[in-house]
Chain A
């Protein structure tokens, strides 16, 4: 079966004036539809870069990216994205914030005017109810706690049923308890919707709890040095993360990242 997303020997070099930074060595990664992949690795190894490639915010310097067998960019891919800062729009209510993608992404946008008070509103409210935010739908973002804002951020990234959900350290700024709560929320959302998720994180417990596959990257210029399956059945419980087999996965990942061999440099282009 063709993978949903296929990075084929993709390489990225940032070109900031005279200085060139090789961010990603030729990297190959296949993402199956409905999979949940976590990307972990030392800071600056190119994790965010991979997400930017998948969302077409950035074009690869070399190599190809395929979506459902066709080169990325050939036809629009529906993407949802969320970052560490919730970046909700303060002048809109939570409901309107979550509805924003329906105003912008086709085919929803064509019917936005007609349906925003009916069908779309119900759709948003159902999603908000799922993450326990329905009572706050009419509030403005600053009236919510950080964890609640991040829930709304997740909803905004999901409301238009994206083919690909890209999360860049979404829980990085939250305290441990809130973070764990949100892991469960995300797991529930994923199980209910069957989205395909690429999650970048620094938290190895988070990666092991949430993902089906964990891709470990080397230091910059990054490449994938380990691709590991996590087969623990779903739904997983937070308490499971303290069991020995789970702890050993986290330890092994940590060893890999800390002792990641300095990647052999491929010859750089003339400076």
Chain B
């Protein structure tokens, strides 16, 4: 198959999955209270778009702000941990510990500190996306080939020289790969916080819709989330290919 054919085939397959879903619901007469059909979800979405829009905007906003902070902190921590044995031994167990805490459990704490609303959502998005970034950046920096390190040290390169010329560029593919994971995780974080403690955002909208048994609306919320997720994932894949294309061994 040519690349074009392959793309066409995968698009057709995705459409096929939704068609299958639609058909199954129709054939077995599944109630929209259990599983709404894709067409119902879409029409609900279009019908309520003006109402959904502010929620989507809020979720996108908290996610992006949390993500930006998470990336900044994750990158800094990753560089620190990757370049110092002491920092690695101290921070790594702490990070693993923190990341094993279910994020739902920390939302009430943030609410206690900052009140319900935007801040807990931003913070939850932030802490949920720090971990993969730290791990990836630290791995990239800490796994510089020993021979290359010797070559650099023989030139009397300082730690900073090595970090700047080898460690950081080398960790970029890891970093961008982790961004794709982190952005989708950040959505999870915001939505969790919105579900628990907010009066705005897609998470909150879905909570209200489900309490009113408006199942198509709940699914419309899911649709918005996944579209946003896919879009941001695609954007970061594109950036990754631009910036760290050398790691994919494609012509320069």
Contacts and interface: CB of A to CB of B under 8 A. Distances in A.
B165 A103 contact: yes
B246 interface: yes
A90 B156 contact: no
Nearest to A101: B155
Nearest to B144: A87
B246 A104 contact: no
B154 A142 contact: no
B246 A87 contact: no
Contact of A140 (B161, B169, B252): B252
Interface stretch (A22-30, A73-81, A227-235): A73-81
B147 A104 contact: no
Contacts of A85: 145, 147
A71 to B, nearest CB: 16
Taking each of B152, B153, B154, B246, which has the highest tally of chain A beta carbons within 10 Å of its own beta carbon? B154
29 contacts: A55-B153, A56-B154, A56-B156, A57-B153, A76-B156, A79-B154, A79-B155, A79-B156, A80-B154, A80-B155, A81-B150, A81-B154, A82-B151, A83-B147, A83-B150, A84-B147, A85-B147, A89-B169, A90-B247, A91-B170, A91-B172, A91-B246, A91-B247, A93-B252, A104-B161, A105-B155, A140-B252, A156-B151, A157-B151
A143 B250 CA distance: 10
Contacts of A103: 165
Contacts of A156: 151
A100 interface: yes
Interface in A86-113: 87, 89-91, 93, 100-101, 103-105
Interface string A133-172: 0000001101100000000000011001000001000000
A27 B156 CA distance: 25
Nearest to A85: B147
Contacts of B169: 89, 91
Given A84-B147, A87-B147, 6 more contacts: A55-B150, A80-B154, A80-B155, A91-B244, A142-B249, A166-B154
Contacts of A56: 154, 156
A160 B151 contact: no
Contacts of A93: 252
Interface of B: 145, 147-148, 150-157, 161, 165-166, 169-170, 172, 244, 246-247, 249, 251-252
A204 to B, nearest CB: 24
Interface residues of A, number: 30
Contact of A55 (B145, B147, B154): B154
A140 B246 contact: yes
Contact of B156 (A84, A89, A100, A105): A105
B149 to A, nearest CB: 9
B152 A104 contact: yes
B174 to A, nearest CB: 13
B147 A100 contact: no
Contacts of B151: 81-83, 87, 156-157
The residue among A57, A82, A91, A101 with the most chain B CB atoms within 10 A of its own CB is A91
B145 A104 contact: no
Interface centre among B153, B156, B165, B244 (most CB of A within 10 A): B156
Most buried by A among B145, B155, B157, B247: B155
B154 A90 contact: no
Contacts of A142: 249
Contacts of B170: 89, 91
A160 B156 CA distance: 12
Nearest to A166: B154
Q: Pick from B147, B170, B172, B249 the residue with the most CB of A within 10 Å.
A: B147
Top 7 closest A-B pairs, CB basis? A55-B154, A81-B154, A87-B148, A83-B147, A91-B246, A79-B154, A104-B157
Contacts of A82: 151
Nearest to A76: B156
Interface in A199-252: none
A87 B246 CA distance: 15
B143 to A, nearest CB: 13
